[in-house]
Structure 1
Amino acid sequence: MSAFLELNGVTKRFGGLVAVNDVGLTVEQGQIYSLIGPNGAGKTTLFNLISAVFRPTSGSILFEGKDLTRLPTHALAGLGIARTFQNLAVFKHETVVNNLLVGMHTHLKSDPISAAIFWGRTRREEMKARDRVEEIIDFLEIEDIRDHPVGTLSYGQQKRVELGRALAVSPKLLLLDEMVSGMNQEEREDIARFILDLKDELGMTVFMVEHDMGIVMDISDHVCVVNYGRKIAEGTPAQVAANPAVIDAYLGAKRSAA
């Protein structure tokens, strides 16, 4: 049986710079899997390779046995892969509800004629999409801001809307890019709770790049550490925290900078 998400010998070069160097990892279905490392370690590049923003120079990226390395980015949603962005990519002049409806586009299959008269299949799909959006609003506890333009919300609320839009895809694999960066402590705790609920209640697999070591160690099932583009350690949070290479490259650097 193949792994849910599997990277084999993945390398990415930008000219003479090797940003990711021969990285392999395996994510099992239902895991919360975290990718960590110092600034400039190659985390974002690796994340963008998985989400098909970049193509690897060499190696393979398999999702449920299907090779992602030659697929266009937009095709991933149809496979059940969704992501958030470190820098917000919401539609700030639209309401929360409309932002979430954007995430439903992969589930809308009506032909142009049905869509034009808003009848039959189109009407049924629209009703189903709005029901799904209501479920997401309830899950993320954003009922009181549902009709607000997203640009009028706090940064933490906007991040929650971005998470909701990714959930609208109904993903099997959710990719979270620095989800809690810029949030206060209460907002970070809320997001950590939502991520755990996604795993425990919905059986969703989460792959996240994260700098907040507290969240990584508290909620991750498995952690992979990269430095200078190479994988230097992986295992449970406890195993990674005790690894001398990680302490030197990441935790030690963090303590020294404190």
Structure 2
Amino acid sequence: MTPLLELSGVSKRFGGLDALSGIDLKVMPGQIYSVIGPNGAGKTTLFNMASCLLHPSAGQIRFGGQDITGKPAHLMPRLGMARTFQNLAVFKHETVIDNILTGMHTHLKTGILGAALFWGPTRKAEIAAREAAEEIVEFLEIETIRDVPVGTLSYGLQKRVELGRALAMRPRLLLLDEMVSGMNQEETEDIARFILDIREERGITVMMIEHDMGIVMDISDHVAVLNFGRKIADGTPQEVSAHPAVVAAYLGVAENAAGGQP
């Protein structure tokens, strides 16, 4: 099976700093693939390169078998990639439904005349987009707040709206950057359930950065671990959690030096 996303020897240098060095990974269709690691390990830099917000200093990135290395970021939604961000990126003065509708723009094709007159194919496309947005609202269980300005909602609900906007892009691959950061236990459990449903019901591959090890170990098929810009382990959650290098990275255990004391 061809990987949906493949990074081969990917590195990123900022001046004299190696943010990532020689990263190889493959995300297969249908997986929930997690990237974990301590703060500053290079996780968000990896996501920014996978979504072409940053271009690698070396290496190759392929999406759906196509080389996307160096491609402009605005092409990614059309190719089937969507993402959320570590810091909220919603239109706070707009309603929930309008925020979700903005995710549809990539798939709405109309001319100036059609938009001005709002007839024919333009009207049909708008109606279809609104029906799809309403379906996402129902899927994420936010019907009661569909007409509420997003800025008045709790942090957890705003994150859910951002997730809905990403789903509106109809992605094949969904990148989630610390989706449950700052959420309480109930909100975290809701997001975990939605991620599983996104994969099972919508057939969307999910790649996520996450610090919450509970959600990582519960729902991930594959986990890659970064530390100081390098991949130090990857495998199933069980394999990774028992890997000595991962334990050392998370617990700060010093390595033995040539038979010396730690």
In structure 2, the residue matched to 1:40 is 40
Aligned partners of 2:252 and 2:105: how far apart in 1?
Answer: 43
In structure 2, distance between residues paired with 1:223 and 1:163: 21
1:161: Cα distance to partner?
Answer: 0.1
**2: distance between equivalents of 1:80 and 1:172?**
5
Correspondence list, 1:133-152, <5 A:
133-152=133-152
1:227 is the counterpart of 2:216: no
Letter in 2 for 1:22: G
What is the aligned partner in structure 2 of residue 86 from structure 1?
Answer: 86
Look up the match of 1:23: 23
Q: Distance in 1 between matches of 2:166 and 2:192?
A: 16
User: Which residue of structure 1 lines up, in the alignment, with residue 54 of structure 2?
Assistant: 54
Deviation at 1:2, TM superposition (A): 2.8
- List aligned pairs for 1:177-188, cutoff 5 A: 177-188=177-188
Aligned residue number for residue 248 of structure 1? 248
1:176-214 Cα offsets, whole Å, 9 max, x none, are: 000000111100000000000011111110000111010
User: Is the CA contact 2:2–2:28 (under 8 Å) kept in the aligned structure 1?
Assistant: no
- In 1, Cα distance between the equivalents of 2:26 and 2:252? 27
What pairs with 1:188-199 in structure 2 (closer than 5 Å)? 188-199=188-199
Deviations 1:152-192 (A, max 9, x none): 00000000000000000010000000000011110000000
The code of the aligned residue for 1:145 comes to I
Aligned equivalents of 1:69 and 1:4: distance in 2? Answer: 14
Q: Give the distance between the partners of 1:87 and 1:43, measured in 2 at CA.
A: 14
Quick one: which amino acid aligns to residue 140 of structure 1? Answer: L
Listed one character per residue, the Cα deviations across residues 22-63 of structure 1 (whole Å, up to 9, x for unaligned) are 000001000000000011111111111101110000101100
Which letter does structure 2 place at the counterpart of 1:31? Q
Q: Which runs of 4+ in 1 moved over 3 A?
A: none
User: Which residue does the alignment assign to 2:215?
Assistant: 215
Matches of 1:42 and 1:173 in 2, distance apart? 20
1: CA distance, partners of 2:118 / 2:224: 48
Aligned residue in 1 for 2:99: 99
CA deviation string 1:6-35 (max 9, x = no partner): 000000000110000000000100000000
Which residue does 2:236 correspond to in 1?
A: 236
Q: In structure 2, what residue type is equivalent to 1:168?
A: A
* Unmatched segments (≥5 aa) in structure 1: none
- 1:165 counterpart letter in structure 2: R
Percent pairwise identity? 67
Compare CA radii of gyration and give the structure with the larger one.
Answer: 2
Unaligned runs of 5+ in 2: 254-262
Matches within 5 A, 1:163-182: 163-182=163-182
| RMSD (Å) for aligned C-alpha atoms | 1.0
Q: What is the DSSP-based 3-state SS (H/G/I as helix, E as strand, rest coil) of the residue aligned with 2:73? A: coil
Partners of 1:3 and 1:83 in 2: how far apart? 18
Q: 1:253 to 1:145 in 2, by over 3 A?
A: farther
Aligned length: 253
